Chains A and B, each alone.
Chain A
């Protein structure tokens, strides 16, 4: 059947520690191999025009809002935003309406995604029923329905004994538990990072200790239970020290960081722009530097968007009333290429943290260009200049602080199972 030859690009495959100018051959949705001067006989040819050719990016933290909040996003719009941003696979969070705490919801998401989404969707199921933090979900049934991890995300499980049982039981389903580490009592009404900026703005502060306390608690519980704990959107320097030490002790803890925590500080909130309200909040410049360093060292394993669409009218309110979250899928690649430009990450390590590591951590197919792997790829033009306009994006929502900004670097094409699903000149090509 279909043969596709991608030529004239730079292959970046962290799974093989490969960074070389080679061709890539795809057949029947799978990778045949990468090599020099592959014969183009019988193959459709895609000229990469010098772009990077990498395994497709995998986002392990996005909010796609279906079912229940389709006015913010759905699997079609979220999937289109994903492939336009270079992502071929997404793990979507369980805080839908109803919550993904039942196999019927998991199956619904997968069925809809199969029809509507050009990107592969991997549902994350709730860890407790109704995300209420009391009764654990049927993890085995959810896993069998297709759930890849368990998380109550922003509804942090405050009861340590419930968290212990959730972690313990998750080992039966052999899936990670993802935590939004934040002590909600200590956070109280805090909406911006506690520090000089919060004091100037007169907005309630959220101290770094609120995150550190829960990171410390959950690490000890992961040690107690032997579970795989994945810490979502690490935002403060203190958490990194805790994670580093736990890893040295052999605790199964992994971690992610968002593009916004890597590139924006609480100074971005000085205009009271509610699009800068995120949870956890944007932190200090010192935290930002520590996060970049931890990502480079591998203490933080992956980048993840925490793509959180909200309707414009929901954000046009008081800062404290605005729902937390910002869009991420269409800007993540461009925004984080900053770490390549400043030398924090090599191109190969950049791809590792967006593709190979997420696949390895969550047991997904993909994240590699080895022969026989699914042909999920992204072509990246790291130098292309463009202007991001959230109103023109594929997401249904517009809540991005980067709207109107000049960006450098962009996905030139995205391929899922051997099919071209996005091309920067042709847009999203629904499969």
Chain B
């Protein structure tokens, strides 16, 4: 039974995932109609609370909500709570006072949706928190693999790139493992986080070995501006060592598919010729993202749930906020 919130794949069981994927398969048909709207969530208010810009994910959730006839409101916030001098709890309580039926949260720091969920009366869907989880992305990836391969059980899935900074990697590791696939990760040692094998995957620094016999090869987006020179010496060296092209893909199964959460750095993590055509299924992922998110919204907002047992009423203190948090070093 899916809980009130969808905060991460780590919290879901295999049967939860199967229910979500089956529901999404039913939602796919709505997107093919001339009038792409059903009244399922009519009168419900969904808030897209994005602390980090993400046009794709935000748009996908917005379209999903609108196809279910919900009122979707985008609430974008930039900067940290410290720079705005508004705590996360204040933001959460402000939104809560507007009585939304569902809040979708994206933040660049891990754990923010979890803390928001402690305060909000409405359920929360995590739309990506730092390098922690991105459950809707992993679910749409699983939906795409189901569509392409007819199964997940027994497949070999290789995730290539910046595993350390990737929420997509973590959610997919949990998801595909729970569904019975063998998950491998590959990247330069500077992009493999400490003790990654404790998550039940095999880690590789040799791309050829990592994709040997793989059914699914998933490339991750590299944050070039931030990490070039720190985690890899140059884009050129990264592309030649870990970038996927047809030559490297020969080591995977003949019918292997190539996935990417987007947007693609062409010529870096994926060769130009791989980005657009089979075996790439990138646009199928995007298409499935809408149906998958419709399923999540329906399962979370469309069903009557008991009230949150502990609403976590935050106590406010009467401290003077104008005081500067000055002084020398930290503690």
Contacts and interface: CB of A to CB of B under 8 A. Distances in A.
Contact of B331 (A153, A205, A319): A153
Given A200-B10, A202-B130, A311 B331 contact: no
B327 interface: yes
Contact of A318 (B10, B88, B326, B328): B88
A391 B315 CA distance: 9
Which has the most chain A C-beta neighbours within 10 Å: B88, B130, B323, B328? B328
Interface residues of B, number: 44
B226 to A, nearest CB: 12
- Interface majority SS (helix, strand, loop, mixed), chain A: loop
Given A68-B326, A69-B323, A317-B81, A95 B331 contact: yes
A228 to B, nearest CB: 21
A395 interface: no
12 contacts: A63-B331, A69-B323, A69-B326, A195-B195, A201-B111, A202-B170, A203-B131, A205-B194, A312-B315, A314-B325, A317-B80, A320-B109
Interface in A307-352: 308, 311-314, 316-321, 323-325
Interface in B78-107: 80-82, 87-90, 107
Contacts of B328: 94-95, 97, 99, 126, 130-132, 152, 155
A199 B89 CA distance: 26
Interface string B124-168: 000001111100000000000000000000000000000000010
Given A71-B323, A318-B80, A323-B331, A205 B111 contact: no
B304 interface: no
Closest 4 CB pairs of A and B: A155-B329, A131-B328, A272-B111, A202-B132
Nearest to B174: A200
Given A199-B196, A200-B10, A313-B319, A154 B329 contact: yes
Report the interface size class on chain A. Answer: 35 or more
Given A196-B194, A199-B196, A201-B132, A318 B330 contact: no
A93 interface: yes
Contacts of B330: 95, 153-155, 279, 323-325
Interface residues of B, dominant DSSP: loop
Interface of A: 63, 68-69, 71-72, 93-97, 99, 126, 130-132, 152-156, 180, 194-196, 198-203, 205, 207, 271-272, 279, 306, 308, 311-314, 316-321, 323-325, 391, 396, 398
A391 B317 CA distance: 10
Given A201-B110, A308-B331, 18 more contacts: A99-B328, A126-B328, A194-B194, A195-B195, A196-B194, A199-B196, A202-B130, A202-B167, A203-B111, A272-B110, A272-B111, A272-B115, A279-B331, A306-B331, A313-B317, A313-B319, A325-B330, A391-B315
A233 to B, nearest CB: 10
The CB with the most chain A CB atoms within 10 A, among B320, B324, B330, is that of B330
Contacts of B3: none
A203 B194 contact: no
B198 interface: yes
B327 A199 contact: no
Interface of B: 10, 80-82, 87-90, 107, 109-112, 114-115, 129-133, 167, 170, 193-196, 198-199, 314-317, 319-321, 323-331
A279 B329 CA distance: 12
Contacts of A202: 110, 129-133, 167, 170
B327 A271 contact: no
Contacts of B316: 312-313
A194 B325 CA distance: 28
Nearest to A203: B110
B133 A196 contact: no
